[in-house]
Amino acid sequence: MAQFALETEITAPAVPAARAKPVLVSLMTALLPALARSRPISALVLAGVSLAMAVPLFFEESLVQIAWRLWLSRHVVDPAESTLGVSMVIGAIASRGLVRLPRRLADQPSPEDVARAVGILANQPNASAGLVRLGDKKLLFSECGGAFIMYARRGRSMVALFDPVGPKALWVPLTLKFIAEAKSRRCRPVFYQVSADFLPVTVEARLNALKLGEQAVVDLSRFSLAGGDWLKLRRSINRAERDGLEFQLLSPADVPAVFDELSAVSDAWLSAHKAGEKGFSLGTFKPHYVMSEPVAVIRLEGRIVAFANILTTATGGDAFIDLMRHLPGAHRGMMDLLFVRIMEHLKAEGFRSLNLGMAPLAGLSTHKRAPIWNHVGRQLYENGERFYNFRGVHAFKSKFDPDWQPRYLAVAGAGFPIASLVDVTMLIGGGLKGVLRR
């Protein structure tokens, strides 16, 4: 269950626990159809696995991050019958040292390759592709050099991040090149957090897509706080400003002067959340990365208490909020103020949209022909508040009236991609130690 990034780092309001059923009961209900279809041994394993679901399942806003608790016993259960339920036992096993997970290989691109990729960013609309500036992912370029895929290898998986970056006419040949490269290294090709635009490519490349959640994208051309629907948000930011909070948008040239302050806020945020830096699909607090783009800050009595770095495109179309960190308990309305003022500034500068990141497990259909993952995921979304604030994150982003856009994991082969999910989780968490910290 991988963006879960908070692939943004917002702390959303909690949904009252009284409204949720016990998650174990909900998950068991979702698994009953699989139990009924399973052979006796398979049914026994599925029933046993349900008892292991009381351990914490999630550490960030990313669907793939439950996968650190997944393991599939191919010798006991048929993968087509077991799907998600059987696999959830990996966390308990891995945390006890019974499974030795492979270390992440050091896949660092050359400075020349990063410079080539940054040049391509200027002519494409996806601001989140600016994560390539981190320099923590290898790069595969199209034959003509006009598009690239950023990826990292973990275990037996080569994991591509987002859609290919560049003209859509180059997506299919570049995707096929990536798949061939993965197979030549005896790796499984994985495409993480791809958009609906990538789905036709999955058909041509014979990949299967699994929905991870929905991404919130605000249409800045119609964003306004006028009208009764925005009364509650207006009150929140007015109260924040009356209490002394001040917003400022810093250009990249202004960031070095306040970098030490930003670093102190970041350290306090990580300490309060008992978390380490993540990676791959999430930005990390590295000087060259933070100083490469604008940073929005909130000050209280002159001191920075919250900040967010903003990835942008040279075309002025799309913007993406990545790192969002704040001092614990500074002010209840500071994130509302930060987001609203960012949107207003970007709109004034001619940007068309702002990507707020994923709402994990949102929008999963549960009709009769939907895969069992959808049913289990929906139960987790509705009743899993003890593990992760799914509805709270969705509610926080919904207050800005975004368009909800689906995001997928695309992999080769049939069945639930357990090994791929584990590898993606380890990439984001920085290995098993990083995953277990949060």
- 122-172 pLDDT tens trace: 888 889 999 999 998 999 999 999 999 999 998 889 999 999 999 999 999
pLDDT number for residue 152: 93
pLDDT of 23 > 60? The answer is no
pLDDT of 90 > 60? The answer is no
112 falls in which pLDDT band (50, 70, 90)?
very high
31 falls in which pLDDT band (50, 70, 90)?
low
91 falls in which pLDDT band (50, 70, 90)?
very low
227 falls in which pLDDT band (50, 70, 90)?
confident
What are the tokens at 158? Answer: 């080569």
- Residue 362 · residue 337 · CB < 8 Å: no
360 falls in which pLDDT band (50, 70, 90)?
confident
One-letter-per-residue 3-state SS of 257-309: HHHHHHHHHHHHHHHHCCCCCCCCCCCCCCHHHHCCCCEEEEEECCEEEEEEE
* CB-based contacts of 235-239 (< 8 A; 24+ apart in sequence): 236/332, 236/333, 236/336, 236/337, 237/333, 237/336, 237/337, 237/340, 237/341, 239/333
Instruction: Return the percent helix, strand and coil in the chain, to nearest 5.
Output: 45, 20, 35
Q: Which residues contact 196 (CB under 8 A, 6 or more apart)?
A: 405, 406, 408
Residue carrying structure tokens 């592709």: 129
pLDDT number for residue 247: 97
Q: Which residues contact 253 (CB under 8 A, 6 or more apart)?
A: none
Which is higher by pLDDT, 314 or 22? 314
- Residue 22 · residue 34 · CB < 8 Å: no
Give φ, ψ of 135 to 5 degrees: 75, 20
* Cα 166 from Cα 125, distance rounded (Å): 9
Mean pLDDT lowest among 58-67, 288-297, 302-311, 379-388: 58-67
Name the CA radius of gyration of the chain, rounded.
21
- Residue 42 · residue 51 · CB < 8 Å: no
Q: What is the mean pLDDT of the chain?
A: 77
Mean pLDDT lowest among 14-28, 83-97, 149-163, 384-398: 83-97
- Residue 432 · residue 91 · CB < 8 Å: no
Mean pLDDT lowest among 215-224, 227-236, 409-418: 409-418
Which is higher by pLDDT, 71 or 259? 259
- Listing DSSP states for 354-409 in one string gives EEEEEEETTT---STTS-HHHHHHHHHHHH-TTT--HHHHHHHHHTT-PEEEEEEE
Side-chain half-sphere of 20: how many Cα atoms within 13 Å?
24
pLDDT number for residue 229: 85
User: What is the arithmetic mean of pLDDT over 360-387?
Assistant: 73
Please give the angle made by the CA atoms of 118, 120 and 124, to the nearest 5 degrees.
Answer: 115
Mean pLDDT lowest among 72-86, 223-237, 367-381: 72-86
* Cα 412 from Cα 417, distance rounded (Å): 9
Mean pLDDT lowest among 49-63, 109-123, 225-239: 49-63
- Of 16-25, 69-78, 89-98, 396-405, the range with the highest mean pLDDT is 396-405
How far, in Å, are 61, 69, 179, 220, 373 from residue 65 at the CA level?
8, 9, 24, 31, 14
292 falls in which pLDDT band (50, 70, 90)?
very high
User: The whole model's pTM is what?
Assistant: 0.76
Mean pLDDT lowest among 90-104, 208-222, 272-286, 359-373: 90-104
pLDDT number for residue 418: 73
37 falls in which pLDDT band (50, 70, 90)?
low
pLDDT of 94 > 50? The answer is no
pLDDT number for residue 123: 83
Residue carrying structure tokens 């357990």: 418
pLDDT number for residue 55: 32
Cα diameter, the chain: 66
SS3 59: coil
pLDDT of 431 > 70? The answer is no
What are the tokens at 246? Answer: 């001040």
User: What is the arithmetic mean of pLDDT over 373-388?
Assistant: 70
Helix 40-50 and helix 79-87, axial crossing angle in degrees, nearest 10? 20
pLDDT number for residue 277: 79
Distance from chain centroid for Cα 237:
27
pLDDT number for residue 330: 84
pLDDT of 77 > 50? The answer is no
